[in-house]
Amino acid sequence: MALTALPPEILDIIIKHSLPLSFENLATTCKRIYAQCTPFIKRHHELRSRFRDFTYISDARDGVVAASDFISLIAVDPSIARYIRTANLVRDSEFFPHQLLRGNPPKSVPSIEDGGDIVELFANSTYLRRARLNWREYYSTFAEDVREMRYSQHGIVFLLTLLGYTENLTIPDLWKPNTATNRLLLVLVKEARQSSFLSSSSGLRPLTRFRGSVRRSEAENSGLSLARPFLTLPHLESFKFAGAFAIGEHPRSLAFGGSPYIADKLEAASLHDCCIDDVGITDFLKQTPRLKKLNYSHKPRHDFLPRDWDICKFINAVAREAGSHLIELAVTAYAFRGSTLPGKASLRGFQKLEKFWFPLRLVTCNINAAGVTGNFATSLQHFFNGSLDPFVRDLIPTTVTHLMLLSECGGMGPYDKALDALFRHFRAIRRSQLPNLQKVHIACKQGADKAYKQQCNKIVAEGEREGVVVHLEQSGFATVSSNA
C-alpha cells in the first residue's frame, strides 16, 4: 500500500487534513495508519464533542462568547470549522457583561501591525476580495468592536465565511446589517448558489436549516427582507423567523420584493410573532413552490404597523399561492390585541391540506360575512337539501385529518356560535364533507363560558359516535406542531 510507504511527517499532514470527515475511516485502514492516528484521537473526540453542535456557553473552558473568540480559535486550528454541523450563534456577545463581572474580560484581537494568525485569516480571505472590500478597513472595524466589547456584525458575517460544513444555523439576536457586511454576505450566498461551484466546503452552501429573529426596534432592520440572503440558499429546507414584518405599505420589508431568487427547496417555514399582510405572504409564497408546512403567528410589534388584522385576506392569499402543495397550515394570534377586519375566508383552493390550525375568530368572520342572524346552523337550508354545507366547505378542506381550533381566551367569549356553526350537524358533515377527519383539538379553559363548554362537550360526544377523537385543551391553546 503506497500510503504506508510515506514518511511519518507526511502521514501526519494527511491525517490532520482528514479531520473530521475521513479521520475514522483512515484510522481503520491498517495497524500502522491506526498507530499514526492514535495521537490525534483524543483531540478528535474533544473537537467533535465541543463543536459539532456549537452554542455559546458563558463558562466554557475555551471562553468562546463572541464571533471574535470563535474566529481566533479557527485561525489557529482551521480543522475546528470542519466539525461544526450546528452553529447556534443566537447569544453572540450577550455574555460580555457576565465575563466582566467574573473579572475575566473577553479576549482581544491583535492590531494589523502586530499580525498573527487571525490577521492573516482576514488578509487572505477570498470572500473579502470578491466583495471588493478592503480587508484592512474591514478588520479595523472588527477589531474596534472587540476592543469596545460590543457585538460585531463585521465579526459574525466573517465567521459565516468560515463555516463551510454547517447545516443548521441560528443567527444572533443582535444581528444588525450594514453596507459592508451585506456585500460580504451577498457574495457568500451567490457563490453558494452557483451550480458550477462544487466544493461542499463553500461557506453556507450545505445549509438546510436556518433560524433568526429581530429584537431591534428600528423599522429599517425589522422587515422580513433581512432574511432574504438566507432564504435563497440552494439547499435550505427549513426556515424559522420571529418578530419581523412584511406588509405592502413598506415594500422594502418584503422577503423577496420582486427579486428573481427562488427558495425552491424550502419545505417548512415558521414565522412567529410577525406582522405579515396578504401582500407580504404572497411575496413570500410565490418563491416557495415546494413548501409543505407553514406556521404563522400574528403579533404587530411596532407602532408603525397596522393594529388591525385582515385574516381573511391573509388566508385567501395562502390558499391562492400555496393551496396546491401545503400539507400543514397553522395561523394563530395568541397575543394579538387589535381588531379583526371584516371579510370572508375560503380554503377551497387547498388540495392536500391535512393538518389545519386556525383561530375561531376566522369562523366569526365568515358568520358575519354571511349576514346570518339567529340560529346560524339552521338558517343554512342548503345542507338539508342534500348538498354540501357551503359554510363548512369554505373553512375546512375535505382532505383535513387533524383540526385545531385555537382561541386567545380559551372559550371566554362569544365563540360558542362559531362552534355551533361548524359542528351543529357534525354527523352528516363528517360523512359527506370531512371523510378523512381523525382528530379535533379545541381550546377550552376551565373558566370558559357555560355556552361554550356545552358546545365543546356536545362535540366530544358526537365525535366519539363518529370515530373522531376530540381533545379539549385546558391550557386554552391547542398545541401547534413544532415541525411547521
Confidence of residue 21 (pLDDT cuts 50, 70, 90): low
Q: How far is CA 441 from CA 39, 121, 152, 262, 413, in A?
A: 57, 55, 45, 35, 18
**3-class SS letters over 198-260:** CCCCCCCCCCCEEEEECCCCCHHHCEHHHHHHHHCCCCCCEEEEECCEECCCCHHHCCCCCCC
Statement: residue 316 has pLDDT above 60: yes
Alpha-carbon distance of 159 to 102, in angstroms, equals 26
Q: Give the phi and the psi of residue 442 in degrees, each rounded to 5.
A: -130, 130
Angle between helices 153-162 and 67-76 (to 10 degrees): 40
Question: Which of 14 and 439 is assigned the larger pLDDT?
Answer: 439
Alpha-carbon distance of 419 to 397, in angstroms, equals 17
Neighbour count for residue 218 (Cβ, 10 Å): 9
Every domain of the chain and the residues it spans: 1-51, 52-207
Q: How far is CA 275 from CA 172, 347, 483, in A?
A: 21, 21, 21
Question: What are the beta bridge partners of residue 274?
Answer: 298
Question: How confident is the model over 326-367, as pLDDT tens digits?
Answer: 999 999 987 677 788 889 999 999 999 999 999 988 998 888
Q: Using CB atoms within 10 A of its CB, is residue 153 exposed (0-12), middle (13-18) or buried (19+)?
A: buried
Q: What value does the mean pLDDT take over residues 231-236?
A: 94
Average pLDDT, the chain: 83
Read off the DSSP letter of residue 474. T
| pLDDT confidence of residue 484 | 41
| pLDDT confidence of residue 387 | 47
**Of the candidate ranges 65-74, 167-176, 293-302, 377-386, the one whose mean pLDDT is the lowest:** 377-386
Q: Cα 22 vs. chain centroid, distance in angstroms?
A: 31
**Of the candidate ranges 303-317, 371-385, 462-476, the one whose mean pLDDT is the lowest:** 371-385
| pLDDT confidence of residue 407 | 76
CA dihedral 377, 380, 385, 390 (to 10 degrees): -100
290: Cβ–Cβ under 8 A, 6 or more apart, which residues? 264, 265, 266, 267, 325
Q: What are the DSSP calls for 310-325, one per residue?
A: -HHHHHHHHHHHHTTT
Q: What are the DSSP calls for 77-131, one per residue?
A: -THHHHH-SEEE-TTTTTTHHHHHHTT-PPPP---TTT--HHHHHHHT-HHHHHT
